[in-house]
């Protein structure tokens, strides 16, 4: 999951293909992570375009914790 969060940390929309290439995960692994993050509201999903990105408030929380 940390690899996915690292890729999505920039706050931009990413394709699943992009995330898979950058993390080396298998598609089913990424789907499980996306489902988990989405279920808890940590991730925004644009299923129509196949895009994912971190929820902005969750992203800020991650950076705040990392910078302390």
In the chain, the domains with their CATH numbers are: 2-66 (1.10.10.10)
End-to-end CA distance of the chain: 21
The model's pLDDT over 4-63, given as tens digits with 9 standing for 90+, comes to 999 999 999 999 999 999 999 999 999 999 999 999 999 999 989 989 999 999 998 887
Q: Taking a C-beta distance cutoff of 8 angstroms, is the pair 25, 4 a contact?
A: yes
What does pTM read for this prediction? 0.84
How much is the CA Rg of the chain, to the nearest whole Å? 11
pLDDT at 64: 80
φ, ψ of residue 51 in degrees (nearest 5): -115, 150
pLDDT at 67: 59
């Amino acid at each position: 999951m940390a690899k996915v969060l690292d890729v999505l940390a920039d706050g931009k929309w990413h394709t699943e293909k992009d995330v898979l290439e950058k993390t080396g995960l298998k598609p089913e692994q990424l789907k499980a992570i996306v489902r988990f993050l989405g279920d808890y509201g940590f991730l925004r999903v644009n299923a129509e375009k196949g895009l994912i990105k971190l929820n902005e408030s969750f992203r800020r929380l991650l950076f705040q914790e990392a910078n302390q």
